[in-house]
């Protein structure tokens, strides 16, 4: 019955938890380990320092695999071996909106069909309002506008730096607007009436 035994039990539990949660996002795993370590430190400072009492506290915390599974669920990370469902992919994050912004903003330059995919993603978004979907649809406009302008300047006597600047402004306009749209998709759900 030494403190060393209790230390070993705690260290072993934290080690098992770290391994069970290896696939969690690093910040989530670190926070979980810190919370559990705090919990154990609190239990020990309030008298639970014999190996028997520590075992009881660990028992009440639950199996590390079970705690890690709860963390996986709350982090929106798929359970190993379970395919990530559509709800996970698009239900908790804003992957749909981010993909739509990339495809509509600049993706179509490289793959023409990307524009169509972007449109489908944008208009099926549960997070954007109709107005935001319209703005998303218009995302290619700055880049197209810049390209048209540069083409029109082709015959005039304009330095290459100015042309590059026009193209850059077009791309920046599309990406900036896209960033605002993605941010808006992150807003918390409106409280129900």
Binding site for other proteins (CB under 8 A): 28, 31-32, 35-36, 38-39, 41-43, 45-46, 60-64, 66-67, 69-71, 73-75, 188, 191-192
The nearest distance, CB 1 to other proteins, in angstroms, is 21
**Of 92 and 129, which has the nearer Cβ to other proteins?**
92
C-alpha to C-alpha distance for 52 and 37, rounded to whole angstroms: 18
C-alpha to C-alpha distance for 116 and 108, rounded to whole angstroms: 8
**Of 21 and 140, which has the nearer Cβ to other proteins?**
21
The nearest distance, CB 193 to other proteins, in angstroms, is 9
Residue with tokens 């900036």: 176
The nearest distance, CB 38 to other proteins, in angstroms, is 6
**Of 72 and 106, which has the nearer Cβ to other proteins?**
72
Q: Is 25 helix (H, G, I), strand (E, B) or coil?
A: coil
**Of 15 and 73, which has the nearer Cβ to other proteins?**
73
Q: Is 82 helix (H, G, I), strand (E, B) or coil?
A: coil
Looking at 21-140, list the stretches that DSSP marks H as alpha helix, in order from N- to C-terminal side.
Answer: 26-45, 51-61, 64-75, 86, 95-102, 108-110, 114-123, 130-137
The nearest distance, CB 142 to other proteins, in angstroms, is 33
């Amino acid at each position: 019955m030494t403190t060393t035994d209790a230390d070993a039990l705690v260290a072993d539990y934290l080690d098992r938890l770290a391994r069970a949660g290896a696939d969690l996002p690093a910040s989530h795993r670190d926070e979980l380990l810190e919370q559990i370590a705090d919990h154990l430190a609190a239990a020990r400072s309030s008298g639970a320092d014999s190996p028997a009492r520590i075992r009881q506290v660990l028992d009440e915390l639950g199996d590390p695999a079970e705690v890690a599974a709860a963390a996986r669920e709350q982090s929106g990370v798929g359970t190993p071996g379970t395919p990530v469902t559509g709800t996970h992919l698009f239900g908790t994050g804003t992957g749909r909106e981010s993909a739509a912004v990339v495809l509509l903003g600049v993706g179509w330059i490289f793959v023409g069909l990307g524009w169509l995919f972007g449109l489908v993603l944008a208009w099926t978004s549960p997070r954007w309002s109709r107005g935001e979907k319209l703005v998303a649809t218009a995302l290619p406009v700055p880049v197209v506008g810049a390209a048209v302008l540069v083409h029109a300047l082709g015959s005039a006597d304009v330095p290459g730096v100015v042309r590059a600047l026009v193209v850059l402004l077009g791309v920046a306009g599309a990406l900036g607007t896209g960033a605002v749209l993605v941010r808006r998709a992150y807003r918390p759900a409106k409280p129900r009436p």
